[in-house]
Structure 1
Amino acid sequence: MTTFDKDTTADEVLADKDLSGQTVFITGANSGLGQETARAMAAKGAHVVMAGRDQGKLDDAVSAIRAEHPDAKLDTIVCDLGNLESIRAATSRARQRFDTIDVLINNAGVMASPLMHTADGFELQFGTNHLGHFALTGELMPLIERGTAKRIVNLSSRAHHMAPANLDDPNFEHRDYNPWVSYGNAKTANVLFTVELERRYALRDIHAYAVHPGGINTNLSRHLDEEMTAALIERVKKSDSNFAFKTIPQGAATTCWAATAPELEGKGGAYCEDCHVAEVDDQSSAGGVRSYALDPDAARRLWTISEEMTGVQYPD
């Protein structure tokens, strides 16, 4: 039983861990939660591969981490999750440069954007938050299979409460666009992806975990205007009277816990929050995971749709 909670920081989660010899690949590692996760894991000896869209921002993040941890083992790789060609190029370079990936942390994301599309024509939030990570993970699976820890952590959100994944119209071609419904669709897809990864790869000792990091002020909210921000905070506080924003070190804690906790060894497919496995709850707005996000039939259907849309075929 974990003794950690919503106030725990990433460093506290990793305090007794030695990650020497492990390679950790993190998307969106140039800022916010991704950068903090990279820093905390590098501080414990991990070789961290930091992926992001902009080399300059990645270089700045590396400099910030090395200012605190001069011996940090860090590499960078440019990858735009909204562009399948960029993903193919990045993962090809990764397979050439690295022998293994022990932990893959699919951290990057976009939230509540206006109706926009990826380079391949997918609705931006579904295309980036889910399809981009689906394609990236598939292309990196040969390295993960050669790893030792063999964990995949997918950042989801309590926003999955807002909407199930719409598998009939994922790109909003036949319904009015709503930025929060889109975000909810994508965050539910992150959990379903975790469920199907676990079903397919658990027998190979590869385990997947979905994570709700908590409410944190990061650049994830860059698409929110003042009115949207105020409405979101009001909604969250109304649904959870005990809500409080987390610091970035607190926000990265559950990711680090899912990536390393010994009590999770050999069992995945779970949705984690505040450094514990959440209960299935279709009523509470203050926590828990919705049953529709764990639906194995929906998870299999999402996988098939994702293969068709991205053209990525996972190893048998």
Structure 2
Amino acid sequence: MTFDAHSTADDVLRGHDLTGTEAIVTGGASGLGAETARALATAGARVVLATRDRTRGEDAAARMREATGNPDIEFRALRLDSLASVATFTTEYLATGRPLHLLVNNAGVMGAPFTRTADGFESQFGVNHLGHFALTTGLLPALRAAGTARVVSLSSRAHRRSDIDFDDPNYERRPYDAWQAYGQSKTANGLFAVGLTARYGDDGITANAVMPGTIMTDLMRHISPADLKARGWADEHGRPRTDMPGWKTVPQGAATSVWAAVAPELHRRGGLYLDNCAIARPWTVDDDPPHGHYLPYLLDPGRAERLWNLSEKLTA
């Protein structure tokens, strides 16, 4: 079946029975993560909401259990800005003995002011990429145990803002630019999908990068009201707009993540960039790819290998 920019997560999952499927969704208590988790649970999956705030996470899990009628939705604490927290999460999940069929690396920060994680990484690179890198590699035994497993890595068209600066990925010497840093982290999310598939595709573990679209969610929390107005994303009173041309609703934004998780045509296929529930194509005309396209460095195998080696070193 063909889907498009207007399709929702429920549209994509219609007819799918995910009973017996184990899934983890990072940032699963709100926004796209919550919608992705809810949709997977509605189709019968057992879902873990991996998020940092216990109160919000437990409340979200309770609401989803009631809304879906699926009792197998649980919260587990995870801080992607702390490798110690990631290690605790992976150790506790592996102790359950459950296989892991779906890992949706959804959580992230965008346009944040300069801060560092508990381990000294620039926050956007540290949370969006390195935290998810450590999480995924830590969960490899559970992913292998599933037989075939899919990892969904949320990237963005914002990858156009920056390739990886391998000499200074954590802004230790160069001036900090919040949007450049966000773009670098989204490029890393794409390269991670390439690297994971290259290493573990023969084990049945594949990963694809996803462009969810532009959606007004809590991801926008670091953008000031003045900046929102300047970008045309807020009205004259500073209230975020919900009628932006080309923007998506949250159910539409979660559709491509869900498509990456269940589409039959993606069985054992990885290292791709997905947009509007379709496989995107490279764009070589200029540095502003339209929807459905990506800049070639996003999926470059050589860069993916180099980033993997760097990430192993930083998270060791």
Contact 2:147 2:203 in 1 (8 A): no
Map of 1:1-316 to 2, 5 A cutoff? 2-233=1-232, 243-282=245-284, 283=286, 284-287=288-291, 288-311=293-316
Give the secondary-structure state (helix, strand or coil) at the position aligned to 2:7: coil
Give the secondary-structure state (helix, strand or coil) at the position aligned to 1:17: coil
Give the secondary-structure state (helix, strand or coil) at the position aligned to 1:272: strand
Contact 1:18 1:45 in 2 (8 A): yes
Give the secondary-structure state (helix, strand or coil) at the position aligned to 1:277: coil
Q: Using the alignment, how far apart are the partners of 1:278 and 1:98 within structure 2?
A: 36
Contact 2:289 2:295 in 1 (8 A): no
Q: Using the alignment, how far apart are the partners of 1:280 and 1:190 within structure 2?
A: 16
Give the secondary-structure state (helix, strand or coil) at the position aligned to 2:281: coil
Q: Using the alignment, how far apart are the partners of 1:143 and 1:265 within structure 2?
A: 18
Give the secondary-structure state (helix, strand or coil) at the position aligned to 1:176: coil
Deviations 1:236-265 (A, max 9, x none): xxxxxx942111100000000000000111
Q: Name the amino acid aligned to 1:294.
A: L
Q: CA deviation at 1:286?
A: 2.3
Distance change (3 Å), C-alpha of 1:114 and 1:14:
same
| Residue in 2 that maps onto 1:237 | none
Deviations 1:113-155 (A, max 9, x none): 0000100110000000000000000100100000144101100
Q: CA deviation at 1:66?
A: 2.2
Q: CA deviation at 1:3?
A: 1.1
Deviations 1:183-238 (A, max 9, x none): 0000000000111111111111211100010001110111000232234457xxxx
For the aligned residue pairs, the C-alpha RMSD in angstroms reads 1.3
State the identity %. 45
Q: CA deviation at 1:165?
A: 1.4
Q: CA deviation at 1:289?
A: 1.1
Contact 2:58 2:74 in 1 (8 A): no
- Unaligned runs of 5+ residues in structure 1 are 235-241, 312-316
Q: Name the amino acid aligned to 2:307.
A: L
TM value normalised by structure 2: 0.93
Contact 1:45 1:72 in 2 (8 A): no
Q: Name the amino acid aligned to 1:285.
A: P
Distance change (3 Å), C-alpha of 1:52 and 1:7:
same
Give the secondary-structure state (helix, strand or coil) at the position aligned to 2:171: coil
Q: Using the alignment, how far apart are the partners of 2:207 and 2:232 within structure 1?
A: 30
Deviations 1:281-310 (A, max 9, x none): 133432211101111111111111101100
Q: Using the alignment, how far apart are the partners of 1:232 and 1:116 within structure 2?
A: 24
**Higher mean displacement: 135-144 or 198-207:** 198-207
Contact 1:42 1:72 in 2 (8 A): no
Q: Name the amino acid aligned to 2:303.
A: A
- Unaligned runs of 5+ residues in structure 2 are 234-243
Q: Name the amino acid aligned to 1:168.
A: D
Q: Using the alignment, how far apart are the partners of 2:272 and 2:143 within structure 1?
A: 19
Q: Using the alignment, how far apart are the partners of 1:223 and 1:285 within structure 2?
A: 25
Q: Using the alignment, how far apart are the partners of 2:245 and 2:132 within structure 1?
A: 29
Q: Using the alignment, how far apart are the partners of 2:124 and 2:183 within structure 1?
A: 9
TM value normalised by structure 1: 0.93
Q: Name the amino acid aligned to 1:267.
A: R
Give the secondary-structure state (helix, strand or coil) at the position aligned to 1:114: coil
Distance change (3 Å), C-alpha of 1:95 and 1:233:
farther
| Number of residue pairs matched by the alignment | 303
Q: Name the amino acid aligned to 1:291.
A: P
